[in-house]
């Protein structure tokens, strides 16, 4: 195995989200999973299992207040003892009753202030956890034409983002996520990459765009957005998942693995760019999983997600860039396309087996997990917690 | 005002859903509405307010077990005293823990039997409530390629539908709803009208297709499906709502009023067809609202929904069919289109004011509702009930 | 009738495209229309008929080289004699054989230079016609993953746009159109508003975004893009048409009249903004029709298009902004929405009849056109010209 | 290599379309390809090159009248001498001027009769060519609401299909293709699989549904339609191509190879079904390519298409059905999914190299084609033929 390839694969990082280890569901039903994590401590235990088996997923994104604790030093220590770090901080400005008509874009000033205060609180959490990224998703939007003034909402968004931006410590960033729809069904305030990008440009250098794979209209070419933002120096991170219809939040790479490969291809290419801005931007992209495992075992689903990213990345690393560029420059359409396809068609599982041997990992992580008895153990210890539909309610839970 | 027009408008019927009067939400949050109905009795009270102000919405669809009661005779009586009737019975085969992988299509036979037993129970409820329609929606489907065998699931669906069909009392029907996606994100077992239609053809004369306006892929022409099913004698009913993206479940007629008009145009045209099957089918279509009022007042939202249907129906009645047919037969594309547009452009509000005068109703239902103090009264009496995300949980609630 | 309303309606301007008067079609077939204009002179004659009957469509966008003439002074004079002006100049960088793999983004430098040279030629035409707008649409893109380097193409686009921008005379603008797909089916170089906007920001003040109603992914909220770009001072113009599926290029306002109304609502609102940049931007928006009339009579289709814009504009002018703002600021979701709907539901045809009387126009433009014998006359004089599929070939035609 | 696997791969058949070897384009431009076939004889020469290199593409679908000849016996002989057979007959009822408003659904009876007469003529051609399939695609539809009566058009379609069906010789079939849109943009008469299926059911046993991969709304699960139609015994054939947006008609397998794999998975599974109807239906499916190679070399593009189908089929054959069924029956969601993915991830190129060795073929068909000098030879002999936009015009061309 090529040493550079090995080194690149060992250096890959995928952050898993704390909320991916707990019960989740659709608006119709949250099915109770045996052993689903009930607290941030249990979520970290689960994340440690994923890290133990993959070696490339030490970071854990947390959600405030779902994962709020009294002492973040203690949380960091708990994580560190398990080979983990606390990753992106994800504020919640969509579950207070006050946010019915929006958070930072709410027509009412007091609500906007409440939202901004929470965001600023999360900046404080970042300082305590040492997190680099504040990951911002807003449910803000409207359901009916005329419900609110679109330009005013845009301006409120900018004001809110700016205030948070300016409170960010040096060396940190805010990642501004966009989404076509849900839970807003007429107009979402941050409705596409262009909207997020425009705000980022206006508010400052610490603002970067976050791309969630499930948040686009049908047909939209995501790898092109990735390429565009890399070239503009404004791509900050990803929320990985898979979709066919809406924001389906399935395991990344399951519905269209070729798309995931094409996205990684741009990222690998950008990270090796001769252009400094593109290169630096690509090398600082945060890779985070954001999914809902409604019908499948949570830890195994997360393992599968990390492994799918690993396979896509490995394939992207195999693209013969010289051959590709030669074909592209000659306008040899099909030869160029075949260079991409050759990498995609390669079965990288033997390569990853070799990688795991070098990393001291079990060669078959899923099988190892199934044989470990971990799932049975947590099911026994944690039981099966039933709940309502959809997302967890906002109250923080502490064991 | 033309007497036929008056008579048609007075005869219009829109069924409102009991669940539209209670709290509902997205997977992210259910905002608590002050005065939201907590029990089937309160839901009937709210429906009575809608009927009082519109005169065309006496029927109330109920959901089992959310609205289950010990004595359906009592329920009928309660409804009847308020000028209401119990409409379609809506079983729930998506909220038991056993239904994680499907109900009637579940790979496990015991779960399929549990689902069918519940559906048969609902047939018994129909007998007690005198309902004509059993309205069937299945969340059944899969999230991942290979998760289950698509043909086997199709056959299980047919078997389940057939067993329920054969238990239906004479004079009743089952309405088979389809949906592109959600909560299944790879394949939904009843994925489009063609799937529902094929099953209906196979299982018997009491099976009809139900069209929910929010359950189609982008771009699909719903009025054409309506026309097709009318001509085949297999259109049974509607779930009305509005959408722009997914199954947004907004107030019907708010996102694209022209589409609603075109749908009503086919229904009016079908109900006056020279073809007996088409005519009879169109005249027996059940019109039901199925929406989620997440951010707006529930009773007012329902009023608005009924009124939007009324306006669309009125416009559809105004289409000059002779002129239209003449232009169509001559291939006069734009003249034909303008006949449709002329009806759509007509402001029917004066006509509806006249209608309401004849029906002894207030001329401005929304205003009348706002002035009535109803909302304030129920808010006082019922309070504000908070809950989890999404749909109500399955337990029946009884005051 | 309110004097401001009258004044606004008289001042409305819709530019019609020369190519809308000639034969056009889909890739499958161009049906020959009797009397379709064969030369730019005949196209101007047709445009004059539209202007004669509407009074709000004096501008005619032209396409180079389809409409190229030896003496643009003569063209201006011919137009002027008919009450017309030459509007936007539309270059053609998609029909030379060299453009198979793109024009300004082509991997081959010589082809890029050829394209830029043509664009610069068109700037010269602008000077001669006195046109304010250079309207740029690029077919550039790729069909297969890997076919070309997405970031390199983006940079070539920027370079090309910049060179043209810097050659623009004072007081003129370039309008940068985007399109999701067609004729490129993997990645279009200017794929959405965000891409056009980013380029405009980078290249200079004379670059503005052009919104074509048919160039978006399904579900995208166009009025929100309009609002966003107005607020950023970067909305330059529209290509009006209607679509349900792809870039259908039907008569504007026929598939979803409510959407057109919502777009006009933002434009009217922007033009009255307290914010100078927004106001000035909105007041300088160019309104152009860009459609393919494949099965309907061309002049009548264009008339209908202009009238549909007029009706939408009239309705947008009727929105009660004070009431709307009051409801919005109180978070009264449904009251705010109803303010919009009240304007939309208003039948503005009587108002427009009154307007036409004041403007000295026939009250029923379509009827007047049909009765005028114009169509029969041009059919006699011009005959029926058959041709190939799709768009005209590039050669200029001169009588 | 497993003998059954070998045998299956050798028996695979992909029909290539005559029109795929000639110039084609979008509505904007048909780029002239050097050496593009100008006559049916040249098209057969090109198809022979594809068959020479792949060994699995002997059938050639022809288009009437583009490929009409005076003596079909001569055509069969010409094909046979090159190892080819004449495949599906594709009538053309979309390029006569009379078809502006439709062919078999045209409001005018004379036009409908003209269309049916052409279809019946094509049935006669079938008899002479020995073709099993009459492949029917209709451009019929409407562009504007109200333009024509949707139910009347449906009935005219059924009448037309029935008359052609009843003229089919024993042992032959009609394949009824559907399409969401283009060139009709309001309503296409055969708008989805359900519409085609309903007509097939009504008209008789020789009518089967044809699935074109590019003719669905966004998000639609095609493999599920395949499974459904197989189970109903009504799947007749495919038009293979790739798309991301509309009916993009790119090389099959290039935009989402996993989708093509999932479709083949259903076909392989159906062909081995215990259910006789499913099995027989699956074994009789016709596999045809239908693409537009607008920017890439035509013969190479066709080779690539056939090879992409071969790879997908090979992967589908590798699915471990026993393991899959076991996981499915246990409700082991992720294990079942992984069985599918394991087959998809397998690099089948070594297997296909082995297959080609056994079939006496070159191991690298694309490379062999490029080295053969075939493209240069036909470019020299045939030259570069320029033409209009889009599809060829209807006139038959004969050398």
- Is A32 in contact with B97 (Cβ distance < 8 A)? yes
Number of structural domains chain A divides into:
1
pLDDT at B398: 40
pLDDT at D1: 58
Mean residue pLDDT of chain A comes to 96
* DSSP label at residue D295: S
* DSSP label at residue A21: G
Does the residue B283 lie in any domain? yes
C-interface mutation test, from A146, A147, A149, A316, most C Cβ less than 10 A away: A146
Mean residue pLDDT of chain D comes to 96
pLDDT-derived band of residue C3, with 50, 70 and 90 as boundaries? confident
Locus of tokens 């949570």:
A298
pLDDT at A300: 98
Residue D76, domain extent = 13-319+369-382
Q: What does the block give as tokens for C80? A: 């002027």
pLDDT-derived band of residue C391, with 50, 70 and 90 as boundaries? low
Question: Which one of A27, A186, A292 has the shortest CB-CB distance to B390?
Answer: A27
Mean pLDDT of A151-178: 98
3-class SS string, B192-219? CHHHHHHHHHHHCCCEEEEEECCCCCCC
Question: Helix %, strand %, coil % for chain D, to 5?
Answer: 50, 15, 40
Residue C1 pLDDT > 70: no
- Is D185 in contact with C243 (Cβ distance < 8 A)? yes
Backbone phi, psi, residue D51, to 5°: -70, -40
pLDDT-derived band of residue D159, with 50, 70 and 90 as boundaries? very high
Does the residue A164 lie in any domain? yes
Contact A319, A24 (CB under 8 A): no
Mean pLDDT of A28-48: 95
Does the residue A355 lie in any domain? no
- Cβ-based neighbour number of residue B314 at 10 Å: 22
pLDDT at D399: 40
- Is D147 in contact with B328 (Cβ distance < 8 A)? yes
Mean pLDDT of C128-135: 98
- 3-class SS at C16? strand
CA dist., res. C97 & res. D294, Å (int): 12
Locus of tokens 């020959």:
C32
pLDDT-derived band of residue C395, with 50, 70 and 90 as boundaries? low
Measured between beta carbons, which residues in chain B are less than 8 angstroms from residue C256? Answer: 256, 258-259
B2-6, B130-134, B239-243, C232-236: least confident range: B2-6
Within chain C, residue ranges assigned H as helices are: 3-11, 40-54, 72-81, 109-129, 150-167, 193-203, 222-232, 257-271, 276-283, 298-317, 321-329, 333-345, 349-359, 365-372, 374-382
- Is D191 in contact with B224 (Cβ distance < 8 A)? yes
Does the residue B387 lie in any domain? no
Closest chain A residue to C246, measured at CA: A219
Q: What is the pLDDT of residues A281-327, one digit of tens each?
A: 999 999 999 999 999 999 999 999 999 999 999 999 999 999 999 99
pLDDT-derived band of residue C16, with 50, 70 and 90 as boundaries? very high
Q: What is the pLDDT of residues C276-334, one digit of tens each?
A: 999 999 999 999 999 999 999 999 999 999 999 999 999 999 999 999 999 999 999 99
Residue A397 pLDDT > 60: no
Backbone phi, psi, residue B203, to 5°: -100, -20
Sequence-separated (6 or more) residues with CB below 8 Å from residue D173:
D132, D133, D134, D206, D207, D208, D236
Where residue C102 falls (left for φ over 0; alpha for ψ -120 to 50; beta otherwise) is: left
Measured between beta carbons, which residues in chain C are less than 8 angstroms from residue B244? Answer: 219, 221
Q: What is the pLDDT of residues A59-107, one digit of tens each?
A: 999 999 999 999 999 999 999 999 999 999 999 999 999 999 999 999 9
pTM, full prediction: 0.98
Let me know if D74 is exposed, middle or buried by CB neighbors in 10 A (0-12, 13-18, 19+). Answer: exposed
Measured between beta carbons, which residues in chain A are less than 8 angstroms from residue C325? Answer: 149
Q: Closest approach of chain C CAs to the CA of B254, in angstroms?
A: 9
Q: What is the pLDDT of residues B312-328, one digit of tens each?
A: 999 999 999 999 999 99
Mean pLDDT of D182-193: 98
Contact B13, B58 (CB under 8 A): yes
D-interface mutation test, from B150, B152, B275, B337, most D Cβ less than 10 A away: B150
Where residue A146 falls (left for φ over 0; alpha for ψ -120 to 50; beta otherwise) is: left
pLDDT-derived band of residue C2, with 50, 70 and 90 as boundaries? confident
Question: Which one of B145, B197, B328 has the shortest CB-CB distance to D149?
Answer: B328
Mean residue pLDDT of chain C comes to 96
pLDDT at B1: 58
Question: Which one of D31, D250, D390 has the shortest CB-CB distance to C388?
Answer: D390
Side by side, which strands form the sheet with D16-17?
D16-17, D59-64, D85-91, D133-136, D173-177, D207-212, D235-240, D286-289
Does the residue C334 lie in any domain? no
- Is D194 in contact with B194 (Cβ distance < 8 A)? yes
Does the residue B220 lie in any domain? yes
CA dist., res. A99 & res. B29, Å (int): 10
pLDDT at A393: 61
DSSP per-residue string spanning C352-381:
HHHHHHHHT--S-HHHHHHHHTHHHHHHHH
Q: What is the pLDDT of residues D297-347, one digit of tens each?
A: 999 999 999 999 999 999 999 999 999 999 999 999 999 999 999 999 999
Does the residue A144 lie in any domain? yes
Percent of chain C at pLDDT exceeding 70: 96
Mean pLDDT of B184-196: 98
Q: What is the pLDDT of residues C183-225, one digit of tens each?
A: 999 999 999 999 999 999 999 999 999 999 999 999 999 999 9
pLDDT at A2: 82
Contact D47, D28 (CB under 8 A): no
Measured between beta carbons, which residues in chain C are less than 8 angstroms from residue D143? Answer: 248, 250, 294-296
Q: Closest approach of chain C CAs to the CA of A278, in angstroms?
A: 10
* DSSP label at residue A18: G
Give the residue among B213, B256, A143 at the shortest CA–CA distance from C257: B256
Sequence-separated (6 or more) residues with CB below 8 Å from residue B205:
none
Q: What angle do CA D385, D388, D391 make, to 5 degrees?
A: 95
Q: What CATH number has the domain bearing residue A230? A: 3.20.20.150
Contact A169, A126 (CB under 8 A): yes
Measured between beta carbons, which residues in chain A are less than 8 angstroms from residue C218? Answer: 217-219
Backbone phi, psi, residue D64, to 5°: -110, 125
The chains found to touch A (3+ Cβ pairs under 8 angstroms) are B, C, D
Q: What does the block give as tokens for D316? A: 């589908």
Sequence-separated (6 or more) residues with CB below 8 Å from residue D387:
C388, D23, D30, D32
Question: Which one of C100, C146, C218 has the shortest CB-CB distance to A336?
Answer: C146
Does the residue B347 lie in any domain? no
Beta strands B85-91 and B59-64: pairing type? parallel
């Amino acid at each position: 195995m090529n040493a550079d390839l090995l080194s690149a694969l060992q250096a890959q990082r995928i952050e898993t989200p704390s909320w991916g280890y707990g019960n989740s569901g659709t608006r119709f039903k949250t099915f109770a999973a045996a052993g689903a994590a009930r607290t941030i401590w249990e979520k970290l235990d689960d994340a440690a299992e994923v890290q133990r088996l993959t070696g490339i997923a030490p970071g854990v994104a947390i959600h405030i207040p779902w994962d709020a604790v009294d002492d973040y030093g203690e949380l960091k220590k708990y994580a560190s003892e398990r080979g983990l770090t606390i990753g992106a901080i994800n504020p919640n400005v969509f579950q207070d009753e006050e946010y019915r008509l929006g958070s930072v874009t709410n027509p009412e000033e007091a609500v906007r202030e409440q939202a901004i205060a929470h965001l600023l609180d999360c900046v404080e959490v970042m300082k305590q956890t040492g997190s680099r990224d504040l990951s911002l998703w807003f449910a803000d939007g409207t359901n009916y034409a005329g419900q609110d003034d679109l330009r005013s909402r845009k301006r409120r968004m900018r004001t809110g983002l700016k205030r948070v931006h300016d409170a960010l410590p040096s060396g940190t960033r805010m990642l501004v996520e966009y989404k076509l729809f849900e839970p807003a069904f007429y107009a979402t305030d941050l409705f596409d990459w262009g909207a997020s990008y425009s705000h980022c440009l206006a508010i400052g250098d610490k603002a970067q765009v976050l791309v969630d794979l499930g948040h686009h209209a049908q047909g939209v070419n995501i790898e092109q957005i990735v390429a565009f933002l890399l070239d503009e120096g404004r791509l900050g991170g990803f929320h990985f998942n898979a979709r066919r219809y809406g924001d389906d939040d399935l395991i990344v790479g399951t519905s269209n693995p070729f798309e995931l490969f094409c996205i990684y291809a741009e990222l690998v290419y950008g990270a090796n760019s001769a252009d400094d801005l593109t290169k630096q931007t690509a090398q600082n992209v945060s890779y985070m999983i954001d999914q809902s495992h409604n019908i499948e075992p949570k830890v195994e689903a997360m393992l599968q997600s990390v492994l799918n990213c690993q396979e896509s990345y490995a394939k992207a690393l195999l693209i013969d860039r010289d051959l590709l560029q030669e074909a592209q420059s000659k306008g040899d359409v099909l030869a160029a396309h075949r260079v991409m396809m050759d990498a995609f068609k390669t079965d990288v599982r033997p390569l990853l087996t070799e990688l795991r041997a070098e990393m001291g990992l079990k060669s078959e992580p899923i099988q190892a997990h199934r044989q470990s008895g971990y799932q049975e153990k947590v099911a026994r210890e944690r039981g099966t917690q039933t709940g309502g539909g959809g997302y967890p309610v906002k109250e923080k839970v502490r064991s």
